[in-house]
Amino acid sequence: MTTPQAVLNFSTSRTPLDPKVEQEWDKRGFYQVGPHKHYSKLHAIMASQQTGHYPYWNFNDELFGQYDWTVEPEESLTSLYKRRAQQLRDKYDYLVLSYSSGSDSTNMLHSFLFNGIPIDDVICYGPFSTNQGRQNLNRDPEYNYREIDLLAIPYLQELSKKYNFKVTMYDWTNDVATQYKDTDWVWTQVSHRFAPSIVARNRMHMQPQHLNLVDRGFKVGFVFGIDKPRIVLKDNNYWCGFIDLCTSMSVGPGGSMTGNVWENDEYFYWTPDLPELTIKQAHLMMRFFETHPLLKAYIQDADLMSWPWLEEYYDIVKRVCYPTFNAEIFQTWKVRNGTLSENDNWFIKNSDLPAARIWRAGLDEVQSVIDPNWLIGGTILNGLVGAWSRMYALTK
C-alpha cells in the first residue's frame, strides 16, 4: 500500500518539465493546492488533506478569462470547427482521431473530412473480444460498445475509401484483464475516474504503428471529442463552465501521469487554442433556451451531481451544435458512474479474475484514506465528487 506521504512526495517532487510540455499538459487542466500543481485529482485531494489548502481545478482560467463571454463571436460555428481542425492538422505530423460514433466524435470527424482537411488514422477502442452486449440490444450503457460494431466500423469503412485514412481497432480486453499488478494503480495510472478501463485508455498511445512513428521523430497527436458546452441558468443569468470529470470520459490522464512527454492529447472543443468555439456554442445554446422557455428546466440551477436532465440536455446540444450529425441513429445512454461503469461490467462482475480483485483492493485503499466528503454518497464506488472550473457569464 502506498502511504499518503509517498503520494504527496510523488506529486510535488517530479523532475521539472520542459516548459513547452508543461504548457501542453496544463491545457487539459490541473489542480492547484497551495503553491503546488497536481495533474491527478487524487493527489490533489491527498495534498489538501495534509496541508489544509483546498484543491482548485484550473481549466485555462487565465486565457479563458481574457475573453468577454457575453459577446457572441461573429464567425459561424461551422467555420470555427474548420479552423480548429486546421489548427490541429498544422500542429502534428500524424493525426489520430478517437472515434465512438457519438455526436462529439462524429462532428469532429466531419470537421476534418468535409472541409478537405486530411487525417491519418481513426482509432476505435473497447473490450471487443468479451462479446459484452451482443446477447441483446437496448440503450443501457452496458451496450455502449455495440455502437462501434453497428455504427462506427461500417461508417468508417465507407469514409476511408473516399478520404484515405487508416482505421485502427484497439481491443483492450487483455490490457485491462492483466495490467492490475498491485493497488498502486490508483496513484500512478488514474486521476479522477476509477473505472477499470480508464487505465487502458493510457495505452491508446502504445499502438505499434504510432510508437514507430514517434521513434522516427514524428510528432503524433491524439484528438478527442471533449466535450459538449455545459451551460446553467442561475438567478436568471446564463453561465458556462467546464467540469473536470468530463475530461476523462474517453481519454486517460496520459503523459501527465505516465511521464511520457511524447504523448500528445488534444481536446477538440474545450481548448484554449480557440476559445471562440466554446463561446459560440454556449451562445447558440442560450439562444435555444430563450426561444424554448419551457425547456429551461433542463439547465435551471444545474450542477454536476444533481442534473437529472443530462440526457435531454445532450440531445439538445446534438441538434443545436452538431449540424451534420444524425441525431436519430441508435445511441446508448451515457455511463453515469465513474467507478462502476456499466460498459466495464465484463470485468467488474468477473469475480474469478485476479485483476478484478486487485482493482477492488485499490478502491478500498482510496476509501480508507480519502475524506468521505470527496466521494459521491461517501463511497468510492460512486466516484469522486466533480469540480466546476471558473464560471463565465454569458449575459451582462
Q: Do the domain assignments include residue 33?
A: no
Local confidence band at 131 (pLDDT 50, 70, 90 cut-offs): confident
Helix residue ranges per DSSP H, the chain? 4-12, 19-26, 41-51, 61-64, 77-91, 103-113, 146-147, 153-163, 173-178, 185-188, 198-201, 208-215, 255-258, 275-291, 310-321, 345-348, 354-369
pLDDT of residue 85: 98
Q: Do the domain assignments include residue 346?
A: yes
Q: Do the domain assignments include residue 3?
A: no
Kindly state the average pLDDT of the residues 316-334.
90
Cis peptide before 227 (omega within 30 of 0): yes
What pTM did the predictor assign? 0.94
Most confident of 201-205, 244-248, 364-368: 364-368
pLDDT tens track for 305-314 = 567 788 899 9
Q: Do the domain assignments include residue 89?
A: yes
Q: Do the domain assignments include residue 1?
A: no
Residue type, 379: T
Output DSSP code: residue 150. Answer: I
pLDDT at position 2 over 80:
no
pLDDT tens track for 278-299 = 999 999 999 999 999 999 999 9
Q: Do the domain assignments include residue 181?
A: yes
pLDDT tens track for 202-223 = 788 889 999 999 999 999 999 9
Q: Do the domain assignments include residue 157?
A: yes
Q: Do the domain assignments include residue 306?
A: yes
Question: How many structural domains are present in the chain?
Answer: 1
Kindly state the average pLDDT of the residues 10-32.
79
pLDDT tens track for 79-125 = 999 999 999 999 999 999 999 999 999 999 999 999 999 999 999 99
- Domain containing 331: what range? 74-369
Strand, helix or coil at 217?
Answer: coil
Residues 254, 39 contacting (CB under 8 angstroms): no
